[in-house]
Amino acid sequence: MHDVLLIPVLEAPMEAYLPVFSCRVPAGFPSPATDELEGLFDLNRLLFRHPDATYLVRVSGESMSGAEIHAGDLLAVDKHLEADHGHIVVAVVEGDCTVKRLERRGESWWLVPANPAFQPYRIRTGEELHIWGVVTHVVHELIPGRLAALLHSRD
């Protein structure tokens, strides 16, 4: 069940203001683009709603590929949010850390992968289970290697 690698966050995130443009970029047919600057946006406000209760993890394995979470992706995980049915969570079951979708099926709770090659896991009464937080965002790298290089440079 080792699907995640914890990344220590040693200090509160600094503000990261980026320009936001008012035009939307179509994913279909091209249209004329406008370059009106709508303002600046601190990306941390999106990724870290509760900065003191948020951490980052790196994904290994492909059990969540159907949810567009792949090996090497970076997850923002909020410990402040209460996990509920349908949330993707980071959980520790009997000492093993994993990322799965939490589902209630009748009276039972399950950790469900988003890849049919993996089996759902029924949470049994009395089993040692800790929910380490709810996944709020996925950083999926489109130019391979940059994220890994940045994370390794911190070592």
- From 22, 31, 63, 108, active-site residue: 63
Catalytic residue among 65, 79, 100, 153: 100
What one-character-per-residue DSSP string does 103-149 give?
EEETTEEEEE-SSTTS--EEEPTT--EEEEEEEEEEE--SSTTHHHH
Query: Are the CB atoms for 6 and 19 separated by under 8 Å?
Result: no
Does residue 100 carry a catalytic annotation? yes
Q: What are phi and psi of 66, to 5 degrees?
A: -70, -15
Residue 63 is a catalytic residue: yes
Long-range contacts of 36-41 (CB under 8 A, 24+ apart): 41/17
Label the pairing between strands 108-112 and 96-105.
Answer: antiparallel
Q: Are 99 and 135 in contact (CB under 8 A)?
A: yes
Q: Can you tell me which residue has the tokens 């009464």?
A: 125
Among all residues, which ones are annotated catalytic?
Answer: 63, 100
